[in-house]
Amino acid sequence: MAMNVGSSDGDEDEVVSAINTTPLVDVMLVLLIIFLITIPVVTHTVKVNLPKDANQEAQTKPDNVTIAVNQAGTIFWDTTPLSGTKELLHRLEQAAVKKPQPEVQIRGDALARYESVGKVVFACQQAGISKVGFITEPPPRGG
């Protein structure tokens, strides 16, 4: 049986460049065991009989009103072209009195004039519509 006690040169101050990970692994295993033991203790709560959820019919949501404005400035109610802002205002006033009030979604063409879309927003404001949204196209992926 042989044992290496040192080098024959007498150079005993050699630096060890390897990291000893055994203490780190020991500490992590101890922490893992502690967490496995303490988590079930923490999750216990007072036993209570909670009420059962009954399926209740929710109030039906009204159909959203979709208003489109094309590049030429023509206003469409869903797919029906309107003669002008007066007809739009009349239809919006009829929709505003419904309970619950539908949401107005505006689809404006990217090349439409701002004035055309602004008239629709102003008509919604005059009719008393509380929820107005704009439908946009998401940007292309990866670009």
Name the DSSP letter for residue 63. P
Report how far residue 66's alpha carbon sits from residue 88's, in angstroms, rounded to the nearest whole number: 12
Tokens of 12: 């005993």
Percent share of the chain, pLDDT over 90 = 38
Query: 77 forms bridges with which residues in the sheet?
Result: 67, 80
More confident: 103 or 5: 103
pLDDT one-digit tens code per residue, 34-66 = 988 888 776 666 676 666 666 555 555 668 899
Q: Can you give the pLDDT at residue 44?
A: 63
Report how far residue 120's alpha carbon sits from residue 128's, in angstroms, rounded to the nearest whole number: 13
Tokens of 44: 């216990």
Contact criterion met (CB below 8 Å) for 122 and 115:
no
Q: Can you give the pLDDT at residue 68?
A: 92
Q: Can you give the pLDDT at residue 75?
A: 93
Q: Can you give the pLDDT at residue 5?
A: 58
List CB contacts of 128: < 8 A, sequence separation 6 or more.
93, 96
pLDDT one-digit tens code per residue, 65-86 = 999 999 899 999 988 999 889 9
**Which domains are assigned to the chain?**
65-134 (3.30.420.270)
- Total-model pTM: 0.55
pLDDT at 88 over 80: yes
The mean pLDDT value of the chain amounts to 82
